[in-house]
Structure 1
Amino acid sequence: MKNLIGLCGYLLLHTICYAQSFYSTNLPIVVIETEGRTIVDEPKTTVKMKIIYNGPDKITSLTDAPNIYDGFAGIEFRGSSSQLFPKKSYGFELRDAQGENKEVSLFGMPKNEDWILFASYNEKSLIHNVLAMKMATDMGIYASRTQYVEVVVNGRYEGIYVLMEKIKRSNGRLGITKMSTSDNVGDALTGGYIFKIDKTTGTGGSAGWYSKISPLKAPLGQRTLYLYEYPKFDEITSQQRFYLQNYVDMAEATLNGSTFRDSVNGYQRYFDPLSFAQMFIINETTKNVDGYRISTFFHKERDSKKGRIKAGPAWDYDLAFANADYCQGQEYYGWAYLFGDACPTDLWQVPFQWKRMLEDPSFVTAVYNEYRRMRAGPWKTERLNAYIDSLSAVLQQSQARNFQRWPVLGVPLWPNPRPVPGTWMGEVNELKNWLTNRLAWLDASMPGTLTGIEPGTVPAETMVEIAPNPFSEKARLVLKTPGPMEIRTEVFDINGRLLDTKLHFLEHSETEIFLPVTGPTGTYILRVHTPKEVIQKKMLKR
């Protein structure tokens, strides 16, 4: 006890005496001192900041000298609905003694002044965003690098945070061309830009424009709102605003037009299909309930650098991986891009682009090939579960302190589905189990799965969707064909026994068929024979 009192007395000399016993950790420590000033949503408050870390497999103590950063920062609360939680997320920029921005490399990440401390309050595994960023990076697209830390603010232990790179135009982050206020004509006007679909709250100020095309569902005549991200709304010139809005309008009009599949003058003239396929896959694999419609970024490089609209970077996955009890967010089956089917009156709806691109066989092939590439490598189920295990091992010691500070385990918080696991390891295991089931459903349901045809060589002429999947007594098939044709359906059990076969004549380009499936709950195999291909999918009866 004498030693603890002595340590607290030592720390008091530095205006730090901790309400919770926290002296050492295997994680880095971030110490923030406001010197009497109050942190608010905006503007940023000047604080002193120290970051201490002795390296992997070593213990870092509060009394160790700061060796990652020791200086000033401007800090503010960040987030939209998450600002209602008692554990706040922060955005901060590193500064010198004169208050000027200061670029610093933290934990080996590229130098920058802008960073984020993500709180992970209602996401109790503490893993969702770190896992999603890793999955996006595995795919080869830029996503924020991450580092777990423990945070102390004004002498009070605040728990585990994820230090993340803020999305911005920068070497080492999103490396598009830097723009200035003089870039108002010619090629310089064409890029690079970052824009997004998002709520206007929690953005630190925003402005933008509305799409001319309605989203998939449009309650009260809603239109998709695009916000300027780079150049910032208070820095972008009128010429740049007009150019970006006009370019997006032309791109969307082309995608919405009757000749959108044209290889020269169609939507691929304006959009980069691979990036949209990749973002489709990451949003669907995580079943991000905010995907496509909130916290969704796009960027465009200059025309001289073959600049088209690209989807990404990936961002904001705390309500993914079944951490949402609304709009079927907790189910391992179903499509995130069809959010509006479950919640048609929600004010933030998925824009039309994703569903429209899925009407292009070449885009479906790109989605299938990219998903197959990931599932054959870094997204193998056992590899993803092993990565989750590695994160939980890193957090094993510190998570107990975090949940002592914030006793939320077993407590339903918005929007946690119920029942809520009563332990942290229960949260981790629930994540692994859900992801395993989600991947199995996507393996069976991902559009473009073909039998007897090498994917990528012959586009599928017929699209088959099973919705819902799982189903109850009858499987509902939606078939899209290039014209009238005769097809044959076959249903097999998991052991390969043929249970049902029927001939169907399809008179229209889109036809709905119901197939009764007798037998117990479980997995069945559907084969659809057309004049040119055989399409195979898994069906799940519940």
Structure 2
Amino acid sequence: MKKLIGLCGWLLFQGSIYAQGFYSTNLPIVMIETEGRTIVDEPKTTVKIKIIYNGPDKITSLTDAPNIYDGFAGIEFRGSSSQMFPKKSYGFELRDAQGENKEVALLGMPKNEDWILFASYNEKSLIHNVLAMKMANDLGMYASRTHYVELVLNGRYEGIYVLMEKIKRSNGRLGITKISTTDNSGDALTGGYIFKIDKTTGSGGSAGWYSQIPPLKASRGQRTLYLYEYPKFDDMTSEQRLYLRNYVTTAESVLNGATFRDSVNGYRRYFDPLSFAQIFLVNEASKNVDGYRISSFFHKERDSKKGKIKAGPAWDYDLAFANVDYCQGNQTYGWAYLYGDICPDDNWLMPFQWKRMLEDPYFVNTLYGEYKRMRAGPWKTERLNAYIDSLATTLQSSQQRNFQRWPVLGVYLWPNPKPVPTTWQGEINELKNWLSARLAWLDASMPGTLTSIDPSPAATEISVELAPNPFSEQARLVLKTPRPMEILTEVFDLNGRLLDTKLHFLEHAKNEISLPVAGPSGTYILRIHTPREVLQKKMMKR
């Protein structure tokens, strides 16, 4: 006891560390001492930080000497809506004794000065962000490296955190070309840049511009806001701000134009389809309700280095994987990019790019090819479940302390769907079960899978009749169902291009639906998603 009390002033005899019996762990320990100063949203507060870790197969104790880092940092709260929770997330930059930024390699990650401690408070599996970063990395994209740690702040145990790399231009992170204030013409002006679609709160600033193309389903004048991320607005010259804004505006205008599919002068001249397909897959596999419309990053390299607009890196997945109780975010069916169909009154609606790209067979084929590659390899259901289990094994001991400190298991925290699991293992099981069902839905629903028309299962939940078929302008559906239900209809052409999608609420017994089909005479595919099955029908337009 006396040894603990005298440990350089870090531990408090009456504090929760001793009360919870936190002396050692299989995870790294991060110890922060503010020396009486208060951590705020901004600016950063100078603190002392010590990081201790003896390795993955060894125990690390509070009394061990700091062997990863022992020095200073500037720290602040981070996040937007998450700042309302008592367990705070933090952003910090490592500094030397003179207050200058200091790059250090932490826990096997490339050296840098900027880091994040993600709290994972209302996401009780503690796994969502780590899993999403792994899935993005599986696709071949840069994604933030992660490492679980346990945090001690001013002698008080604060629980499990995820140490993450902050998204930034840097060797070892997003390796685009560094741009300086002298790069104001020619090829040097064309990159590299990082920008994002986001809220102004918790984003480090509100300087940016509004897209000239409205978001999907905008009905109240909602507009898509782009924010400068790198360089920051104050570090950019007027030429650089104008260039990036004009480039994005031109690119969006082409994507929204009549000849956007043109392989030379269409949107592919400005956008990198592969990166947009990959971000689509991470967002849809996790059904991220914040995906596309919030915390959505983009970057552009110099023209001499094939500098098209690329989507990514992936970011912010605590409200993904069914951790929401609004806008059908916890359902295994439905598309995240069509969020506005469910919640058109939201202040932040989906930008138009992905839906527009899905009207291009080249993009559809790219998307489906990436999905097949993942499902045949790292995204096999059993492999993802095994990865989740491996994380759970790593956290098995420390999660008990975390939930002693934050007794939230079985408690509703915005926006948890109900019923709320009462155990941590229940959270893990729910994640695995949901993800398995979600991937099964995507297997049947991913654009480009139109290989089996008019399947005839032995028994279906609903009966569907097309009358007449062929039709003129609108297809008329007669559906019979034994119970009220919600269905999703999709209309594709034979290239797998999605032409229309709508949600319908069916009453018991007989229902009639009319579907307008925009396009020339020919064959189309109708796909109907019910809560239990996917049906496909061939439609003929005169």
Q: Alpha-carbon deviations, 1:411-432, whole Å to 9, x = none? A: 0000001110001010110000
**Residue equivalent to 1:263:** 263
Alignment CA distance shift 1:6-1:336 (3 Å): same
In the superposition, the TM-score normalised over structure 2's length comes to 0.87
| Structure 2 CA distance for aligned equivalents of residues 403 and 363 of structure 1 | 44
Supply the distance in 1 between the matched residues of 2:188 and 2:180 (Cα, whole angstroms): 9
For residues 19-40 of structure 1, give each alpha carbon's deviation from its aligned partner in whole angstroms, at most 9, with x where no partner exists. Answer: 2321100000000001111111
Q: CA-to-partner distance for each residue in 1:103-157, whole Å, 9 max, x for gaps?
A: 1111111110000000000000000000000000001001000000000000000
- Indicate conservation of the 8 Å contact 2:5/2:11, yes or no: no
User: 2: CA distance between counterparts of 1:298 and 1:345?
Assistant: 25
The answer on 1:243 being equivalent to 2:243 is yes
Determine whether 1:390 maps to 2:386: no
Task: Answer yes or no: is 1:7 the counterpart of 2:3.
Answer: yes
CA 275–515 in structure 1, closer or farther in 2 if over 3 Å, else same: farther
SS at match of 1:200: coil
Partner of residue 466, structure 1 = none
Aligned to 1:287: 287
In the alignment of these two chains, the number of paired residues is 498
TM-score, scaled to structure 1: 0.87
Partner of 1:335: 335
Q: Secondary structure at the match of 2:159?
A: strand
Q: 1:284 and 1:99 mapped to 2: Cα distance? A: 42
Structure 1 residue 533 displacement after superposition: 8.7
C-alpha distance 31-444 of structure 1, shift in aligned 2 (>3 A)? same
Name the structure 2 match of 1:87: 87
The residue matched to 1:220 in structure 2 has which SS? coil
- Match for 1:492: what amino acid? S
**In structure 2, distance between residues paired with 1:137 and 1:413:** 30
- Asked if the contact 2:287/2:321 (under 8 Å) is kept, the reply is yes
Cα 1:159–1:190, aligned 2, differ >3 Å: closer, same or farther? Answer: same
Match of 1:516 among 479, 501, 507: 479
C-alpha spacing 1:177/1:495, structure 2 compared with 1 (3 Å)? same
Q: Does 1:171 align with 2:171?
A: yes
Query: C-alpha displacement at 1:540, in angstroms?
Result: 3.9
Alpha carbons 1:77, 1:89 under 8 Å: kept: yes
**Alignment partner, residue 16 of structure 2:** 19
User: Separation in 2 of the partners of 1:512 and 1:175?
Assistant: 50
Q: Which residue of 2 aligns with 1:228?
A: 228
After superposition, the C-alpha distances for 1:233-278 in whole angstroms (9 at most, x for unaligned) are 1101110000000000000000111111111111111100111011
What do residues 2-24 of structure 1 show as CA deviations (whole Å, max 9, x unaligned)?
xxx22332236446544232110
Distance in 2, matches of 1:541 and 1:338, equals 17
Structure 1: 5+ residue runs without aligned partners?
Answer: 453-488
Q: Which letter maps to 2:166?
A: K
Taking structure 1 as reference, are residues 392 and 538 closer, same or farther at Cα in structure 2, changes over 3 Å only?
farther
Q: Per the alignment, in what secondary structure is the counterpart of residue 115 of structure 2?
A: strand
Of 476, 492, 496, 2:456 maps to 492
**Partner Cα distance (1:361, 1:208) in 2:** 32
Q: Which amino acid aligns with 2:5?
A: G
Aligned in 2, Cα 1:512/1:155: closer, same or farther, shift over 3 Å? farther
Relative to 1, partners in 2 of residues 1:12 and 1:304: Cα closer, same or farther, differing over 3 Å? closer
Alpha-carbon distance in structure 2 between the residues aligned to 1:14 and 1:413: 31
Please list, as runs of the form range in 1=range in 2, the aligned pairs for 1:52-201 lying within 5 A after superposition.
Answer: 52-201=52-201
CA distance in 2, matches of 1:289, 1:41: 25
Task: Tell me which amino acid in the other structure corresponds to 2:212.
Answer: K
Contact 1:491 1:501 in 2 (8 A): no
Is 2:10–2:155's contact at 8 Å kept on the other side of the alignment? no
Cα RMSD between the aligned structures? Answer: 2.6
Q: Pick closer, same or farther for the CA change 1:111–1:527 going to 2, 3 Å.
A: closer
Tell me if structure 2 keeps the 8 A contact 1:31–1:49.
Answer: yes
Identity of aligned residues (%): 75
CA spacing shift, 1:378–1:495, aligned 2, 3 Å: farther
Q: 2:198 & 2:419 partners in 1: Cα distance?
A: 30
Aligned to 1:507: 472
Residue deviations 1:136-187 (CA, integer Å, cap 9, x gap): 0001001000000000000000000000000000011000000001111110
The 3 A distance-change label for structure 1 pair 14 and 318 is closer
Q: State the match for 1:347 in structure 2.
A: 347
Residues 113 and 541 (structure 1), Cα distance of their counterparts in 2 relative to 1, 3 Å cut: closer
Structure 2 CA distance for partners of 1:280 and 1:401, relative to 1, 3 Å: same
Q: Is the 8 A contact 2:464 2:477 kept in 1?
A: no
Q: Distance in 1 between matches of 2:119 and 2:62?
A: 20
Quote the Cα distance in structure 2 between the aligned partners of 1:96 and 1:528. 59
| Distance apart, 1:344 and its partner CA | 0.5
Partner of 1:442: 442
Greater CA drift, 436-445 or 204-213:
204-213
Matched AA of 1:7:
K
Q: Is the 8 A contact 1:151 1:158 kept in 2?
A: yes
1:275-311: CA deviation from partner (whole Å, max 9, x where unpaired)? 1011111100100000100000000000011100000
